[in-house]
Amino acid sequence: MDKTDRKILAELQENAAQPVADIARKVGLSVTPCWRRIQRMEEVGLIRKRVALLDPQKMGVGMSVFVAVRTDKHNADWLKNFADMVADMPEVVEFYRMSGEVDYLLRVVVPDMKAYDRFYRTLIANVELTDVSSSFAMEEIKYTTALPLPEIDNAN
């Protein structure tokens, strides 16, 4: 990945729907080489997918809840069952296995407290957990899907 690739990625992270011709102009390439670079980055998995980002408030799921899960089960079967169950819960938009005091962290988006209570009851009814702690986001101060694009050495 060189400086031009990073510029292309920055453009795509800003607006993946913009025409390749616009991206090419902004990064100083003609259309075909720019398109080839994008294709290559998709083929190698650097670009996983291109999506539309929806406004949670306008979609009616404006409440973000961070759910910290602790368990005393640390085996592959339990994790598979838990991960499969969480994968089927559309409210869960992020799911991480953690180090430290918390075993798993979920970010859940719901319309309101009543919807979160339904989610919570489903969660605890379907998997054996030691502790579930919920923190409700009061204000979103920063949210981005754009990853930082670190500089690379001049050898590349």
- Cβ–Cβ under 8 Å, residues 89 and 122: yes
Thinking of the domain 63-136, which architecture would CATH place it in? Answer: 2-Layer Sandwich (3.30)
The Cα 109–Cα 90 span in angstroms is 9
According to the 3-state scheme, what is the secondary structure of 37-81? HHHHHHHCCCCCCCCCCCCCCCCCCCEEEEEEEECCCCCHHHHHH
- Helix (H/G/I), strand (E/B), else coil: 36: helix
Tell me what pLDDT residue 153 has: 55
What 8-state DSSP symbol labels residue 91?
Answer: T
Q: Where are the domains of the chain?
A: 3-43, 63-136
At 44 the pLDDT is 97
CA-nearest of 75, 148, 89, 95 to 124 is 89
The type of residue at 45 is G
> What CATH number should be reported for the domain whose range is 3-43?
1.10.10.10
Best CA proximity match to 70, nearest among 131, 136, 125, 8: 131
E-only strand ranges, the chain: 63-70, 92-97, 104-110, 131-136
pLDDT, position 155: 45
Assess contact for 103 and 83: CB atoms under 8 A.
no
Cα–Cα distance for residue pair 47/56, rounded to 1 Å: 24
In this prediction, residue 152 carries a pLDDT of 62
Q: Are 3-43 and 63-136 in the same CATH fold?
A: no
Task: Give the global pTM.
Answer: 0.88
pLDDT along the chain (156 residues), means of 10: 95 97 98 98 96 96 98 95 97 98 98 98 95 97 94 56
Instruction: With both helix axes pointing from N to C terminus, report the angle between 3-14 and 31-43 in degrees, rounded to the nearest 10.
Output: 80
pLDDT number for residue 150:
86
